[in-house]
Amino acid sequence: MNTALSTASRRPILELPSELISQIAAGEVVERPASVVRELLDNALDAGARQITIRLLAGGVRLIAVEDDGAGILREQLPMALKRHATSKISSLSDLESVGTMGFRGEALAAINSIADCAISSRATGQSSAYLLDGRSGELKPVARSQGTTVEVKELFFSTPARRKFLKTDATELAHCVEAVRRQALARPDVGFCVWAEGKLIEQWRCCEGPQALQQRLTDVLGSEFMERSVLLNYRRESEPGSGAASVAVWGQVGTPEAARARADQQFFYVNGRFVRDKVLSHAARSAFEDVLHGQRQPVYALYLEIDPRRVDVNVHPTKIEVRFRDSREVHQAVRHAIEDALAAPRLGQVAAALVSEVETPQIAESGSSNYARQSGMTFAPAHGHRVSDLGLLWNASPAAPESSEETASSWPLGRALAQLQGVYILAENAQGLIVVDMHAAHERIVYERLKAQLGSHGGSARLSMQQLLIPATFAATETEVATAEAHAETLQALGLEITVFSAKTLAVRAIPSALAKGDATGMARAVLTELSEREASTVLQRAHDELLATMACHGAVRANRRLSLEEMNTLLRQMEATDRADQCNHGRPTWRQISLRELDALFLRGR
């Protein structure tokens, strides 16, 4: 028998000393100096601060001081602030269920005080004097200061050396502290933040007012590059149609696919003003990018979700970084749609529009840069109301409207086709200069969007319309391919493919989707069969559908080396202008680039 266990089982049950309880709580709440910074900032914001100053020494290990100009704490209340389970923020279960403050557990200061040397000085609103409380001795003495509170935390983890050992270098801890401030600063543009390290001012974000406050703060904190490569997002979902009351609202900035990064270090999600890391939210964002982002690239965004506090539980994690939504489906859908909508709007309009600004603001318009469109509030509308027919493939579509007067051609964002280069690129002229289009990539996107639209966005019972082949295309098939064709006949039909067994080792493609009528029938059939064989028939859901459609689009899209007439090229350009997400192919690569006259002049050393 295990002696340790038998001894332990004979020990009496005792209540833990208060200090130890706080230290245990601190183990959950305070992982590193940045956690203290976050807690103190939460408190300052809850106190209504407009200006917050953070001072750090040795990455926060030697000192973290957070000073605010908030409501302050009354003298007689100061000792309570350091008590466990003492809070001014909630007093009942119903308060907890609809909590609107950052803090509510009433344990942060007690926990921090149990593992560091703490002091709080404060002057409450309307009081003529200020007091300082020493967290160790409990001594209270008058001090001079203006309204607000300063909490000083020194020698973090001095009493828990095991914990201190886990800390990284000062520089790393400092970086985490600054990141903690950045997260809060992005949530509160109306509050000014200053960060000092080793006596030097290292970050300063002034408080921003007015309708552009958030945009200004995002620019200050994340840089103008983030803003230039992101689009505005503003989405409301009404709880009941017509009620006007939003059950979920999402706004912020979401980066274009080209702004994606190797690391997920610019993904900021806020729920009712609180920075969170949530699987539902990040999955929703990820899936909104599925169509336009390839490989392991990480999207960038700063997104703010507002939801009735009763519909989200914030009391699920000691550091409040996780939340639980009552209806996570609703939230997932809202976030996904919000991002999809924002990304879908073609950004081609900016090319034409940038013309106007070219003189004052030299900038190279580039696929994915939304700068002009954003500044001007301009959205793209197909030139002259010219709509490309939704049916028919490039070459059997009606030719582009022959309204190619100089004026009209220069107002088309993607310009007028000039030539085809090496069977791969289309060269076109717009008023800004030269446009180069990767014709396969661009056409692939157009076909894909068309297939998705036909099938209905949620993989419902809709079917792709079929076109029978005059002469069935037969090909030598593997046993797996034959078996898959038989087993998935239904799904194939829905995808507009009719593939029958011709002989034990031969399959015949009898019909293909009419939208892909000129595509490579056997190549498409084989690719779809391969994908289907890797899935359960019953799990060919939305995601699988999209992948299958992308595969089909790839086989149905115009191949390199296919000669196009100028008319066909122009048709493709006009289709791109009218297609959602046309700036990227299905794999996230750009479909077109602008080379401005300015750049061409520079190439030829033509001075201006």
Which residues of the shown chain bind ligand ATP in the complex (CB under 6 A)? Answer: 39, 42-44, 47, 68, 70-73, 81, 87-89, 103-110, 149
Residue 546's identity, in one-letter code, is D
68 contact choice in ligand ATP, Mg ion, none (CB below 5 to 8 Å, kind-dependent): ligand ATP
What is residue 309's DSSP assignment? Answer: G
Nearest approach in angstroms of CB 150 to ligand ATP is 8
Q: How far apart are CA 185 and CA 180, in angstroms?
A: 9
The residue among 42 and 68 lying less far from Mg ion, judged by its C-beta, is: 42
Helix (H) or strand (E) holding 426: strand 425-430
584 forms beta bridges with: 590
Q: Does 103 bind Mg ion (CB under 5 A)?
A: yes
Query: How many residues bind to Mg ion according to rule CB under 5 A?
Result: 4
Please classify residue 290 by burial: count the beta carbons closer than 10 Å to its beta carbon, then call 0-12 exposed, 13-18 middle and 19+ buried.
Answer: middle
**Whether 454 contacts 462, CB under 8 Å:** yes
Question: What are 231's strand-pairing partners?
Answer: 254
Min dist. Cβ of residue 88 to ligand ATP (A):
3
Name the E strands within 264-365: 267-271, 274-275, 301-307, 312-313, 324-325
Nearest approach, Cβ of residue 307 and ligand ATP (Å) = 20
| Backbone φ and ψ of 492, nearest 5° | -60, -40
Nearest residue (CB) to ligand ATP, 86 versus 344: 86
Question: Shortest approach of Mg ion to residue 104 CB, angstroms?
Answer: 8
Tell whether residue 43 is a contact of Mg ion (CB under 5 A). Answer: yes
Task: Give the shortest CB-31-to-ligand ATP separation in angstroms.
Answer: 15
Nearest to 349 by CA among 583, 590, 598: 583
Residue 81, binding choice from Mg ion, ligand ATP, none, Cβ under 5 to 8 Å by partner class: ligand ATP
Amino acid at 280: V
Q: Which is nearer to Mg ion, 26 or 426 (CB)?
A: 26
Structure-token pair, residue 567:
């008319």
151 touching Mg ion, by CB under 5 A: no
Which of ligand ATP, Mg ion, none is residue 107 near (CB under 5 to 8 Å by kind)?
ligand ATP
Q: Rank residues 194 and 378 by Cβ distance to ligand ATP and give the closer one.
A: 194
Instruction: Write down the residue that tokens 């009620």 correspond to.
Output: 243
d(CA 468, CA 110): 75
Query: How far apart are alpha carbons 240 and 238 in whole angstroms?
Result: 5
Shortest distance (Å) from residue 103 CB to ligand ATP: 2
Q: What does each C-alpha distance from 111 to 21, 77, 82, 156, 319 come to in angstroms?
A: 8, 18, 8, 11, 12
Nearer to ligand ATP, 43 or 522 (CB): 43
Task: CB nearer to Mg ion: give 43 or 570.
Answer: 43
Q: Which is nearer to ligand ATP, 18 or 239 (CB)?
A: 18
Q: Using CB distances below 5 to 8 A depending on partner kind, what does residue 588 bind out of Mg ion, ligand ATP, none?
A: none
Does 254 engage in binding with Mg ion (CB under 5 A)?
no
Residue nearest to ligand ATP (CB): 103
* Interface residues toward Mg ion, by CB under 5 A: 42-43, 103, 108
